Amino acid sequence: MSRSDIKSKSQLTPVLSINASDSVGHVGIQADIRTITSLGLYAVSAITSIDHNDLPSDLIISQVRNIVTSLHPKVVKIGLIRDASTIKMIRNEVIGAHRIVLAPGIFSSDGTLLMPEDAIEAMKRHLIPIASILILRSKEAEKLLSRKINTNDDMIEVARALTDIGAESVLLRTSKHNDGLLTTLLYENGKAHFFTSHNTEGWQKHGVGGALSSAIASRLAYGDDIEDAIKNAHDYMHKQVVYAVSNKEVESRKTVIYNQFMSLLAKYHNTHHEVAFYADKLCVSTRYLSQITNIFLNISPKDVIDDYILKEAKVYIETTNLSIQEISYKLGFSSQTTFSIFFKRKENCSPTEYKKSL
């Protein structure tokens, strides 16, 4: 796409992200901006903290108020806010938005509690009641409601309780109560929709939850309803080679193998780039693996692997100070030259040229 084909920001629909800044860029405001922009929308942001140092409430509110007043974003994504008084004031600034996506990030991906108790209570009182969709890991829902999730019925009861607080819909992610599977629940209008995946690596990868919630916010900005927004956001993440797929029209064995392939890729992409390695791990032929990826992605397994590595390379280039040589070694290339040839073949420019264009 040429530059002349790209709309100016004034022509794009704005989506506001209120979130913490992460200097590495895999999560937080930087990741939100990257996802929203990649989906063709105008990402605007209000920063709540920088590297775990919370900004003053008046500064946060000033950012939000200026954006809401000047751009009138119809969709607002709210991420991590750790100050109870700020949470209360944020509500009054965004309540007029058409859609509010609340993904508070109560726990980090490694299980660290990120929000103090008074902030959690403030969120329950002031933000959950105005949320179009509340997105939580099951562990976070357990924390909010002081109850355990051990079954599918528990997930439904927890989601119902959260809608009783006021959330229009609830997406509970990555429950592990089913052995060997991750279970996700969408609860909306009293109806439960379950999704399961064998791709435990992909679903729980650092930054995936934030990217998913930003993608959902973006799809809502396009006018999707909640269920379609989740489906289209999932399709987007699927194309990013993050999630597994569930397709009832495809026989279960192929679905299982595909999901297992995605889990293996998340684990070994920085050490193994060969299709034969993954086929061997899966105890299938390379030809059979090719048939499976063609069913789900309409591309070869080699292209799946290469697309995954390219995505990881771009993240390193965009969000770190690592040299091209360091990135090449991190991704399992034998030399910087080999990595550069790979990158140019996939992106039509060298990694150095790509970095300069940022």
Position 352, amino acid? T
How many of the other CB atoms lie within 10 Å of CB of 52?
A: 11
DSSP, collapsed to helix, strand or coil, labels residue 42 as: strand
Contact by Cβ (8 Å): 195, 231: no
CA distance between the termini of the chain: 16
Please report the domains of the chain, with CATH numbers, ordered by start residue: 3-239 (3.40.1190.20), 252-357 (1.10.10.60)
CA distance 274 to 55: 46
Beta-carbon-side half-sphere exposure of residue 278 (alpha carbons within 13 Å): 31
Q: What is the pLDDT of residue 193?
A: 84
Over 90: is that where the pLDDT of 289 sits? yes
Contact by Cβ (8 Å): 99, 226: no
Quickly tell me which residue has 């591309």 as its tokens.
299
Quickly tell me which residue has 């992200």 as its tokens.
17
Residues 6+ apart with CB under 8 A from 111: 139
Contact by Cβ (8 Å): 170, 159: yes
- Band the pLDDT of 27: cuts 50, 70, 90: confident
Lowest mean pLDDT among 75-84, 87-96, 143-152, 162-171: 143-152
On the 0-12 / 13-18 / 19+ scale of CB atoms within 10 A, 4 is exposed
Q: What is the pLDDT of residue 205?
A: 61
Q: What is the pLDDT of residue 240?
A: 64
Over 90: is that where the pLDDT of 108 sits? no
Q: What is the pLDDT of residue 216?
A: 96
Residue (of 213, 208, 203, 230) closest to 19 by Cα position: 213
Q: What is the pLDDT of residue 164?
A: 95
CA distance 76 to 52: 22
Mean pLDDT rounded to a whole number for the chain: 86
Greatest mean pLDDT among 21-35, 62-76, 193-207, 305-319 lies in 62-76
Helices (H), ranges, 46-151: 57-71, 84-94, 117-122, 138-145
- Band the pLDDT of 288: cuts 50, 70, 90: very high
pLDDT digits (tens, 9 = 90+) for 50-73: 988 999 999 999 999 999 999 999
pLDDT digits (tens, 9 = 90+) for 218-271: 999 999 999 999 988 887 776 664 544 444 444 567 877 887 888 788 788 889
Q: Which residues pair with 50 in a beta bridge?
A: 21, 53
pLDDT digits (tens, 9 = 90+) for 294-337: 887 888 999 999 988 998 898 889 888 899 999 999 999 999 99
DSSP, collapsed to helix, strand or coil, labels residue 113 as: strand
Position 190, amino acid? G
For range 105-121, the mean pLDDT: 89
Q: What is the pLDDT of residue 247?
A: 45
Residues 6+ apart with CB under 8 A from 279: 285, 286, 288, 289, 301
For range 144-166, the mean pLDDT: 91
Position 226, amino acid? I
> What is the pTM for the complete model shown?
0.66
Contact by Cβ (8 Å): 57, 83: yes
Over 70: is that where the pLDDT of 45 sits? yes
Number of H helices and number of E strands within the chain? 16, 9
